Chain A
């Protein structure tokens, strides 16, 4: 009889790309319980989830629209986590970028788009950086744990947004708690007609590539990865740990800020308090699913965009609560975390 045993050794390389695939299958099996509880057929639900968004041009492009902020928050989280800086604040930094976009969008009326749009992007990046600099400086200068402060600041900025929308920026036209519509020249142009796909998608793809380039091709990236994997050793080898972390935190905040710009200037054209349904947290999911490899993170963000689009289709077609999409995302995160452990084992024949 042939006997097998499991031993602790690096698994063969072909396992690695299979892990997300297995994780997806397990996730759908687990979450199908909820679908059944909502009196729907899981197979039907997953058809709407995964295939129907890709079956026509409009919803396929909509998937990319949904993926845009996730690509950005995913890239943001990736560069921070890779540097050992636990930025849980992409959500708040996104809002900072959104505030800047809404503010700039009100005053850029005299600028042509060729100037207005770069100003919007730079402004959003700067705002995200600024908001990220608070926990980053507290961490680097005073050794205050960044996890707690970034989480708390996510709550704080929501109050700032609420203040702006109920006070100085309340839309005089509609009277709703939303900022006045941004000027036309500050709106991100559509990439493809008859769709919502806007320039922000390209910006997002470029940011993913930039993060990839920084992490793998520059000395800054090497220092970041050194700090991320072993602060003490990095310091020993002459890396300025505080400065490297600060740089990573600021870039991370800036990229998250861009996600705020793309949502305001590409989709809503107003600042609203629900501008992000948790893109910052979904960015953490994308970064984890992609194992902090920027290209993998890009794919993961697209997949989460697909889930988001799919969840709405499922909700519309089958009456399953739209939050199924969030459940699937979170389950996928946890299952993938568990599945990554498979890399450390291999099955051997005795």
Chain B
């Protein structure tokens, strides 16, 4: 009997059909991958199963009987647990409080008793966490274990894991896989959402592939190959953008000298970071999220003042410069969070104009015609699917990112700072963004690429610097870097690497 059966699930968001009559089944004690590109409908389907969304039509069966799941509470009641990509933990509360949240019986809450219970459960399931710790103080890997413990504590028989490896370093991934393997032996069924082929081939028994909201098929791992899965996933065999040839290093266009910075909470986020990015190269920065990448981007964008150190664009010092001075110095910036790079309520045209507003102003009055003309030109040049007067929040992620690219790259900056440029984008848009970045490199710009996607860093970078706990732990040439070596460095295993170039 199947632990879960989903029959002909359909879900629309406005005109978009996120799930189109999808059938899905999960056997007891299996790890079943839900594979697909971003936007294929995987997460939507699972959010329906977990009661966070309501399907427009379709049926869900648990252990063979039809059920109505209208809230996570219902789902938990039916033995379904979910570990989302963005952890759903309350950070000022303790591990134990998070585990029992929403599930604690009676009126009185007794902290000691709860900690004991959670400790017992953690031991029983073999999950290594400290129940009295405050979530805020835990690492990403630990937080994920809290999420798993939370689901198991609520008697989950089915565990949905939404892209669980996206935030982990390779070594933590191994620990996760071992944990899942062991829990599976104890009878747990797991739905494993992923878009990484090698992962699903490592850990899963069966694989269901979704594309554009439709189910493409379900295959046994032993009957398939990465190549076949890739074709099912994207409708063609190979994809990707790679840089060509080694670039001869020219002059350093971006020089970062001994930058130290403090984050919002007052903790040192960057320690003595020094980097040179040369004319015509992509310098990739690899690292697990939260190791200082955000602060480095902010310092270089002018939105965070460094505590010490200097930054130069060519010969011009831009330490402590404002964002507009940095833009004028010849820096194109692609922000980490694209929603923090555009104002959603303003129009596409206004967002394109605001960064260099003085060009569109005549005696402090806006030149609306020029703003519109500028937008029309960039929209056609960057193939943005939008009208100049659309509020930018109505654009898809890919189109929004193209607006940001257009704004950052059209003035032909000498230095490009791209932070997580393809996060959450579909294949087409990802390819487009990567191509554009390489175009900048080939044009002679210095490109600093910060990405948590190791594959992206490896395929685009001429040199790769690894950041760990706010420090650059080493720089390796792109041609020599291996995933294992970078993975080790990303976890802080410092090694002697000679500064390249």
Chain A residues in contact with chain B, CB under 8 A?
7-9, 217-223, 225-226, 229-230, 232-240
Contact = CB atoms under 8 A, between A and B. Distances in A.
A220 B364 contact: yes
Interface in B282-336: 301-303, 322-324, 327, 333, 335
A217 B361 CA distance: 10
14 contacts: A7-B12, A218-B364, A219-B360, A219-B361, A219-B364, A220-B364, A222-B350, A222-B353, A226-B343, A235-B303, A236-B323, A237-B355, A238-B327, A240-B322
Contacts of B335: 236
B357 A229 contact: no
A226 B354 contact: yes
A232 B340 contact: yes
Given A218-B366, A219-B364, A9 B343 contact: no
B102 interface: no
A229 B13 contact: no
Contact of B344 (A8, A223, A229): A229
Interface of B is mostly: mixed
Nearest to A232: B340
A238 B344 contact: no
A230 B14 CA distance: 25
Contacts of B323: 235-238
A234 B361 CA distance: 17
A217 B340 contact: no
A252 B335 CA distance: 32
B365 A229 contact: no
Contacts of A222: 346, 350, 353-354, 357, 366
Contacts of A240: 322
B487 interface: no
B227 interface: no
Contacts of B357: 219, 222-223, 238
B340 A233 contact: yes
A221 B364 CA distance: 10
Task: Give the most central of B302, B343, B366: most A CB within 10 Å.
Answer: B343
Nearest to A346: B14
A218 B365 contact: yes
B345 interface: yes
A229 B343 contact: yes
A229 B346 contact: yes
Given A238-B327, A239-B354, A233 B342 contact: yes
A233 B335 CA distance: 9
Contacts of A233: 339-343
Contacts of B353: 222
A32 B370 CA distance: 53
Given A230-B340, A236-B301, A237-B354, 15 more contacts: A8-B14, A219-B360, A219-B365, A223-B357, A225-B350, A229-B345, A230-B342, A232-B340, A235-B323, A236-B323, A236-B340, A237-B323, A237-B343, A237-B355, A238-B327
Contact of B343 (A221, A230, A238): A230
Nearest to B298: A236
Nearest to A7: B14
B266 interface: no
B106 interface: no
Contacts, number: 82
B245 interface: no
A8 B14 CA distance: 6
A238 B364 contact: no
Nearest to A9: B14
B72 to A, nearest CB: 20
Contacts of A221: 366
A223 B343 contact: no
A234 B14 CA distance: 29
A217 B364 CA distance: 9
Nearest to B350: A222
A235 B301 CA distance: 10
Contacts of B13: 8
Interface string B338-381: 01111111100011011101101100111010000000000000
A173 B350 CA distance: 59
B266 to A, nearest CB: 15
A217 B366 contact: yes
B219 to A, nearest CB: 35
Contacts of A234: 343, 354
B418 to A, nearest CB: 14
A341 to B, nearest CB: 16
B345 A225 contact: yes
Interface in B1-25: 12-15
A236 B327 CA distance: 10
A293 to B, nearest CB: 13
A8 B366 CA distance: 34
B12 A217 contact: no
B321 to A, nearest CB: 10
Contact of A236 (B303, B361, B365, B366): B303
A54 B14 CA distance: 44
A219 B360 CA distance: 8
A7 B11 CA distance: 12
Leading 5 A-B pairs by shortest Cβ distance: A238-B324, A229-B345, A230-B343, A238-B323, A9-B14
B15 A9 contact: yes
B294 to A, nearest CB: 12
A306 B335 CA distance: 49
B341 A225 contact: no
B346 A225 contact: yes
A347 to B, nearest CB: 13
Contacts of B301: 236
B343 to A, nearest CB: 4
A82 to B, nearest CB: 10
Nearest to B354: A237
Contacts of A220: 364
Given A220-B364, A222-B354, A238 B340 contact: no
A226 B354 CA distance: 9
A237 B355 CA distance: 5
Nearest to A238: B324
Given A219-B357, A230-B343, A233-B342, A238 B12 contact: no
Contact of A217 (B14, B346, B365): B365
Contacts of B14: 7-9
A97 to B, nearest CB: 26
A218 B323 CA distance: 21
Nearest to B360: A219
Contacts of B365: 217-219
A66 B428 CA distance: 59
Contacts of A9: 14-15
Contacts of B342: 230, 233
Contacts of B350: 222, 225-226
A228 to B, nearest CB: 8
B16 to A, nearest CB: 10
Contacts of B364: 218-220
A240 B350 CA distance: 17
Nearest to B367: A219
A8 to B, nearest CB: 7
A238 B322 contact: yes
B466 to A, nearest CB: 26
B454 to A, nearest CB: 26
A238 B301 CA distance: 9
Contacts of A218: 361, 364-366
A57 B464 CA distance: 79
Given A8-B14, A233-B341, A238 B355 contact: yes
Contacts of B302: 238
